[in-house]
Chain A
Amino acid sequence: MKNLYLPITVDHIARVEGKGGVEIVVGDDGVKEVRLNIIEGPRFFEAITLGKKLDEALAVYPRICSFCSAAHKLTAVEAAEKAIGFTPREEIQALREVLYIGDMIESHALHLYLLVLPDYLGYSNPLKMVNEYKKEIGIALDLKNLGSWMMDELGARAIHQENVVLGGFGKLPDKATLETMKKRLSEALPKAEYTFELFSKLEQYEEVEGPIIHVAVKPRGDVYGIYGDYIKVSDGFEFPVEDYKKHIVEKVVEHSFAKHSFYKGEKPFMVGALPRLVNNAETLYGRARELYESHKDLLRPTNPFANNLAQALELVYFIERGIDLIDEALAKWPIAPKDRVEVKDGFGVSTTEAPRGIVTYALEVKDGRVAYADIITPTAYNFAMMEVHVRMMAEKHYNDDPERLKYLTEMVVRAYDPCISCSVHVARL
């Protein structure tokens, strides 16, 4: 037997959301094992909401994850509304998507500037960049504040939005606030373009180049966005969101409280901004479409680091899309915030595009209570693929200084923008 060296480990990957580590075991002839250890405790969200009143369960689900609490809330509510046979009015749907876009803008801005950029600029912490990168930190805060404010106005707050209820919203902002929202979005557009420019210059490590299966929602109405009724795979296959269990399997892995997901039985795949672009670029419009066409060579489907640039492109897109959706709602002004809903028995599945990739909720409702819940989060979908890319990086650099190796593998993980907390509520087998 060949000698095995001490594992190279990162106990706690910094600047991601949640607690996870990387462990790389090296032998005489190369990398033996690569593991993403998920050390955050289990939270049993599906189990604890069983038998609970639907509205209370819907208040609890967003608590799976703070970075994408709006994504969780809106996906859970859509699944619940499908289950009870309710379809929201178009203008309500448009405003929910605006709330979702608030989450997208905040989350992408935080990820790109506070979690990713410090690595490229040689800082251990984004707060240390304040003096030398005033402009960048200023843009980060402006975009983040815009997203938070949109969620405050439409969701009651930026984290754990209680204002989204079955049938619509508790209360809607007034017309003047929506007009202000449009104005603030327009003013943010140059900042998003600057972000795209900035991230288009950053290194994409060739060590991790290779084929990737991309999975994303096929956008409703063929307009690039968050909601859809079909899942689209980059191999050309499409299936209704209700069939997710037929094509994606989840497995418990020993080193993680989060399960791993595989397409067609054993194939790891990627979800997130890059897969959305790879599968749905033809549905983009406006300035984002132009930037996509002119930067195709950088938005490579074969490199997970391109996910960062894809997020920057989405900042541009979702700002323009948000303005259009607000116009759609304003055209029908005044809007009643909510319709009466009757909580009937039924089963519903919703898959939407959270900032870091698809999130699925399957809910069964019986007598006003949750009778079954299955939730798969973006990071749980991504883990298996993430491990593949960490391994590719490790295989090229296992002879380097361990600090360098740790740094590079952490960057691979960060490019996925993982929500580790989110993945650890874990889904049913």
Chain B
Amino acid sequence: MEGKVRIGFYALTSCYGCQLQLAMMDELLQLLPKAEIVCWFMVERDSYEDEPVDIAFIEGSVSTEEEVELVKKIRENAKIVVAVGSCAVHGGVQSWEKDKSLEELWKTVYGDGKVKFEPKMAEPVENYIKVDYRIYGCPPEKKDFLYALGTFLVGSWPEDIDYPVCVECRLKGHPCVLIEKGEPCLGPITRAGCDARCPGFGVACIGCRGAIGYDVAWFDSLARTFKEKGISKEEILQRMKIFNAHNPKLEEMVEKIFQEVEE
């Protein structure tokens, strides 16, 4: 890209963790001579949502009618649209109860209270506009940002990761929380890139980077292990839904894992 690259960071409904992760990167200072921040409300008071940008980073899920309009506007103004983090890519944890109606959720929390905005059930950005690249994670790792930004800046295109957390966990040599402790670790079916951070602390993966495409997950051995440990299909499905409620392949994938066992 020539001249200063124009960057926008836009927030939909989220915990702001993806922006915080980027804002906390000391490396950002090195980027400054090469980039111009056109819109980033969290750090820049002079932010403009309507201006054209080279790269638009969007975090958060689409959760109000106003946000539907906003993502359309961002798409029109941007050369590259990057969905950042679990909310923008997958709808986020706020989609966990996707199968309940908005009315029911609203009533549980607000009772009969009304507000003047139009709420929606949380959805991934991709449900409304074309997304060019995804940065996974809740929150994404710093190196995810560095890789994507660095690659765009040299005029190239970052690749997607197509192997599961299990691969990184084995390479790190961590004890397996699934095999050794029988915990419902989602490492085998979750997209890698975190260096198996949680299993490294002896904590079962909750799948915050989202499910990997089901054609590359380790179905046979994994299914057998889940079953041996007494972990049910329903349990895995429910756990997967924390970060994957909108994944159209989800049920098919979990079904496939457990089918292998029966065959």
Chain A contacts to B: CB under 8 angstroms: 12-19, 39-50, 52-53, 56, 59-60, 63-67, 69, 110, 114, 118, 124-127, 130, 141, 144-145, 148, 156-160, 162-163, 165, 169-171, 251-257, 259, 337, 410, 421-422, 424, 426-429
Chain B contacts to A: CB under 8 angstroms: 11-18, 20-21, 23-24, 26, 28-29, 32, 37, 40-47, 49, 61, 63-64, 66-67, 92-94, 96-97, 100, 104-106, 108-111, 113-117, 119-120, 122, 138-139, 197-198, 200-203, 206, 208, 238-239, 242
Q: How far is the CA of A428 from the CA of B111 in the complex (A)?
A: 8
Closest-CB distance, B216 to chain A (whole angstroms):
24
Interface pairs A-B: 6 shortest CB-CB:
A252-B113, A41-B63, A66-B17, A41-B13, A47-B108, A170-B203
Please give me the residue from chain A that is nearest to B46 by CB atom: A124
- Using Cβ atoms and an 8 Å threshold, which residues of chain A touch B94? 43-45, 48
Q: How far is the CA of A48 from the CA of B109 in the complex (A)?
A: 10
- Using Cβ atoms and an 8 Å threshold, which residues of chain A touch B208? 160
Q: State which of A15, A48, A422 has its C-beta within 8 Å of the C-beta of B105.
A: A48
Known: A65-B15, A170-B201. A39 touches B66 (CB 8 A): yes
Known: A66-B139, A156-B197. A59 touches B43 (CB 8 A): no
Q: How far is the CA of A165 from the CA of B203 in the complex (A)?
A: 8
Please give me the residue from chain B that is nearest to A72 by CB atom: B15
Please give me the residue from chain A that is nearest to B111 by CB atom: A429
Contact (Cβ within 8 A) B20 A14 = no
Contact (Cβ within 8 A) A18 B16 = yes
Q: How far is the CA of A364 from the CA of B162 in the complex (A)?
A: 40
Q: How far is the CA of A149 from the CA of B114 in the complex (A)?
A: 42
Contact (Cβ within 8 A) A171 B202 = yes
Q: How far is the CA of A13 from the CA of B198 in the complex (A)?
A: 35
Closest-CB distance, A170 to chain B (whole angstroms):
4
User: Can you pick out 8 interface pairs between chain A and chain B where the beta carbons lie within 8 Å of each other?
Assistant: A19-B41, A45-B94, A63-B138, A130-B29, A162-B198, A162-B201, A255-B115, A424-B13
Q: State which of B45, B93, B113 has its C-beta within 8 Å of the C-beta of A48.
A: B93
> Chain A contact residues: over half helix, strand or loop, or mixed?
loop
Contact (Cβ within 8 A) A125 B110 = no
Closest-CB distance, B262 to chain A (whole angstroms):
25
Contact (Cβ within 8 A) A56 B119 = no
Contact (Cβ within 8 A) A43 B16 = no
Contact (Cβ within 8 A) B45 A41 = no
- Using Cβ atoms and an 8 Å threshold, which residues of chain B touch A427? 109
Please give me the residue from chain A that is nearest to B44 by CB atom: A125
Closest-CB distance, B192 to chain A (whole angstroms):
16
Q: How far is the CA of A114 from the CA of B128 in the complex (A)?
A: 33
Please give me the residue from chain B that is nearest to A12 by CB atom: B41
Contact (Cβ within 8 A) A48 B96 = yes
Known: A56-B206, A257-B115, A426-B110. A67 touches B29 (CB 8 A): no
- Using Cβ atoms and an 8 Å threshold, which residues of chain A touch B17? 63, 66, 69, 159-160
Q: State which of A12, A160, A163, A254 has its C-beta within 8 Å of the C-beta of B115.
A: A254
- Using Cβ atoms and an 8 Å threshold, which residues of chain B touch A18? 11, 16
- Using Cβ atoms and an 8 Å threshold, which residues of chain A touch B238? 52-53, 56
Closest-CB distance, B97 to chain A (whole angstroms):
4
Contact (Cβ within 8 A) B201 A163 = yes
Closest-CB distance, B164 to chain A (whole angstroms):
17
Contact (Cβ within 8 A) B119 A421 = no
- Using Cβ atoms and an 8 Å threshold, which residues of chain A touch B119? 41-42, 257
- Using Cβ atoms and an 8 Å threshold, which residues of chain B touch A127? 28-29, 32, 37, 43
Known: A160-B138, A162-B203. A429 touches B110 (CB 8 A): yes
Closest-CB distance, A133 to chain B (whole angstroms):
13
Please give me the residue from chain A that is nearest to B139 by CB atom: A159
- Using Cβ atoms and an 8 Å threshold, which residues of chain A touch B40? 125
Q: State which of A141, A156, A410 has its C-beta within 8 Å of the C-beta of B198.
A: A156
Contact (Cβ within 8 A) A66 B15 = yes
Q: How far is the CA of A385 from the CA of B126 in the complex (A)?
A: 39
Contact (Cβ within 8 A) B109 A44 = yes
Known: A12-B41, A47-B97, A162-B201. A141 touches B11 (CB 8 A): no
Closest-CB distance, B129 to chain A (whole angstroms):
17
